[in-house]
Structure 1
Amino acid sequence: MKRFVTEASFWELFPQAAIGIVVAEGMRSAAEVSTEDAAEIEHLLDRANILAERHLTSDTISENAPVKAWREAYRAFKTKKGARCSIENLLKRVLKGNPVGHITPAVDIYNAISLKYALPVGGEDIDAFEGDLRLGITEGGDAFLPLGENEHEDPTLPGELCYRDDAGAVCRCWNWRDGVRTALTDDSKNAFLIIECVEPERVEDCQAAIDELAELVERYLGATIKAKELITSEHREAVIAE
């Protein structure tokens, strides 16, 4: 059995946070998605790039509410210099007139949800996890090979908030950068999808986002949704694989 566990050190920093999770089993590979469905997914992402504009009320990226909330959150723990929440990177592209492009059906789906709701969304391959997945403050030194790299190991810092399992870090600086080891690929079958919210007034948005994410993954990727939960300080862990 594998679990997703949010540690006390996380809740001490963010007692009002909410984390939506979706466990999807038996997803179609990118090659197995029909041409029609792939086209519909691309349309969803194109539409989401447009919908994201409603979250951008200022031409200065840091002055927009979703970005401001996450920059404030990042001040609460140790981060690598220049690290930013994933939603800031997506919204910055929209702000600059450079819409988020198509990658693979699975990634396109969760990027579409991220843009629509202005919430960070990520995905990991459950089969690649070693033991439980945990979110909390680390003592540092957790092994990590960033996506896009093939040689340099970049371990976590003492006091950094990160996702990690028994083999090392899974995602650095909470939701800044994924590692190669557990990243979703075109052939991943079982996915752990996650949506994070640090604004108490937006918990309903987080719930709506995980509902829609689960629906899209089930519809277009043929997945069986094994779990769909909202993790809070009152409900801190969930089973993600038997």
Structure 2
Amino acid sequence: MRLTVDPKLFEQFPELRVGVVVVEGADNAGAGAEILKLLRLCEREAGEKYGASALGEMPQIVCWRRAYKSFSANDYRSSVEALLRRAIKGDALPDINPLVNLYNALSLKYFIPFGGEDLSRVEGDIVLGYALGDEPCVLIGESENRPPKQGEIVYKDDAGVLCRRWNWREADRTKLEKSTTRAILVCEDLFSESDELAENGCKEALSFAQEFLYAQGRVAVLSETVTEFAD
């Protein structure tokens, strides 16, 4: 499996860093109590820290709103903004499974979008780039095919879209479930202009997966100088 970022995306967003964690042998059906505890802590701390903030003035939010505007997705919000809005309202995220809880927690902690896919369901290699507009996509919780618009930034594989509008919503086909043992987690940083934030988030994700899900894995950070990860 390869994850490749279209070089044109780095031309458009030279500050972009994409963190990657590949997890192998995870026990995602376990209780995951410590990871759920982390999620609740990160929700509470994010709500307390940012509750009085004007989201539209926060640079970590502004960078994603600008990015979404670039591919005409003005009416949509990045995943991290959606999570933060819930945390501010005190609306606890559902306990889905340990890997999903983990990437949601770290998204709130590091204030960058995080997501993940079940690698056993990915067909071929993964590309983060621009949609042609005819790739099939059934989003989580839906049954209708909703292809992306041409030029929309998406994650996709040989069979279709894995995540629409960059990190807005993931496809049902490759979603992480309790039966998942092999996964890829990704995060995206448009704010800090260095590898550190994405790398630290990914290293913490792997550390939790190793300690509590009995997994092994690898971490990488992609940028305009390194555009591909091969597992």
Give the TM-score range, shorter chain. over 0.9
1:140 aligns with 2:96: no
C-alpha separation in 2, matches of 1:148 and 1:101: 14
Find 1:228's aligned residue among 219, 223, 227.
Answer: 219
> Does the 8 Å contact 2:155/2:166 carry over to 1?
yes
Residue matched to 1:159:
151
C-alpha separation in 2, matches of 1:86 and 1:196: 11
Residue matched to 1:210:
202
C-alpha separation in 2, matches of 1:54 and 1:167: 41
Residue matched to 2:117:
124
The one-letter code of the counterpart of 1:6 is V
C-alpha separation in 2, matches of 1:114 and 1:210: 10
Q: Structure 1 residues 41, 57: CA separation in 2 closer, same or farther (over 3 Å shift)?
A: closer
> Does the 8 Å contact 1:78/1:159 carry over to 2?
no
Residue matched to 1:39:
33
1:5 aligns with 2:4: yes
Report the alpha carbon displacement of residue 168 of structure 1 after superposing the two structures with TM: 0.9
What's the CA shift string for 1:150-169, capped at 9, x where partnerless?
A: 2x100010111101111111
Structure-to-structure mapping, 1:105-120, within 5 angstroms: 105-120=98-113
Consecutive unaligned residues of structure 1, counting only runs of 5 or more, are: none
Instruction: State the TM-score, normalizing by the size of structure 2.
Output: 0.93
What's the CA shift string for 1:104-132, capped at 9, x where partnerless?
A: 11111111111111111101011111111
Instruction: Provide the aligned length of Structure 1 versus Structure 2.
Output: 231
Find 2:169's aligned residue among 174, 177, 196.
Answer: 177
The one-letter code of the counterpart of 2:23 is A
RMSD of Structure 2 on Structure 1 (CA): 1.7
The one-letter code of the counterpart of 1:19 is V
Consecutive unaligned residues of structure 2, counting only runs of 5 or more, are: none
